[in-house]
Amino acid sequence: MIDSILNDTLLLDTTIIRYADTAFEAPVFYTIDMERNLQIIPSFATRVGVPLDPRSDTIRYIFKLDSTADETDTLRFAYSASNHFISNNCGFTNFFQLRSVEASGQLVDSVAIINPEVTNSAQETHVQLFFFVD
């Protein structure tokens, strides 16, 4: 499993999404409605980390199964953010509580929140996506 964890200057923290045992060759996630949009392209991934914005209580991503595909789905994450003190040297980090994850239903059949608490553990799966099967 490949984990893509982004360390962004905007202090965006990461939630892990798992694609129910399916490895896509070149899935793409694009943020929308942000000052600086991010593009995340893991290769042959069954897991990917996507950042959450601590300045907001929602973030939306456009998702493509493959970078060359025309079909997209929109994922909307709703959450609450809170600051957590790490140490005097490290300062604070953001923890999140996922309230809901919704998909527009073009590619994603359903979404399951596995662990709603997003902390600084990069090994936990928070959300699992299930896709329509032909």
Q: How many helices (H) and strands (E) does the chain have?
A: 0, 10
**Tens digit of each residue's pLDDT (9 = 90 or more) over 31-78:** 887 766 667 766 666 778 888 889 999 999 998 888 788 899 999 999
Among 9-23, 28-42, 57-71, 119-133, name the one with the lowest average pLDDT. 9-23
- The CA angle 106-18-44, to the nearest 5 degrees, is 85
Question: pTM of whole model > 0.75?
Answer: yes
Q: Where are the beta strands (DSSP E) in the chain?
A: 13-19, 28-32, 39-40, 47-52, 58-64, 73-87, 91-103, 108-113, 117-118, 127-131
* pLDDT single digits (tens) 88-117: 998 888 999 999 999 999 999 999 999 999
Least confident among 14-18, 24-28, 78-82, 126-130: 14-18
Per-residue three-class SS string for 57-89 = CEEEEEEECECCCCCCEEEEEEEEEEEEEEECC
- Amino acid letter, 96: F
Domain boundaries, given as residue ranges, for the chain: 13-131
- Closest C-alpha to 43, from 21, 65, 26: 26
- Report the share of the chain in percent with pLDDT over 90: 35
